[in-house]
Amino acid sequence: MAGAPYGNKNAEQWTIEEANQLFDTSIEKSVEDDYDFIGEIARDLGTYREIYVYLKDKFPELKTKYEKILSNLEANCFSHTKKGLIKEATGIVNLKSNYKWTDRVQNDVDANVKVDIKPKDWT
């Protein structure tokens, strides 16, 4: 049997053109001052936030647009937090959860690496 069975409701529905239109509209919305989180844009466009990651992975040419959306939203969130338009704790949680902000530098230790330290000669 070739293709999806008749009546299949699970077939792929996104084309590159439709995905580009979603991302372009989302970029326009992300520069508006109303949004701090991609889920807000997704909700207003009648979709869900995970669709952006799915489409970015399906169409790699959308990666730059996806990063632009996130960058704009991150800047909005920081600005709104700094100005007190959103509560500081909410802004910090959003920045940490969605934009990879951290409190400290992550130090990774590889237990398989031999460190050869020679004692200093005291004379």
**What is the number of other CB atoms lying within 10 angstroms of the CB of residue 76?**
22
Burial of 47 (0-12, 13-18, 19+ CB in 10 A): middle
For the entire predicted model, the pTM comes to 0.71
Rounded CA gap, 31 and 71, in Å? 10
> What one-character DSSP code corresponds to residue 83?
T
Query: Per-residue confidence at 1, pLDDT binned at 50, 70, 90?
Result: very low
Rounded CA gap, 55 and 65, in Å? 11
pLDDT digits (tens, 9 = 90+) for 2-18: 555 676 676 668 899 99
Q: Tokens at residue 117, please?
A: 């330290």
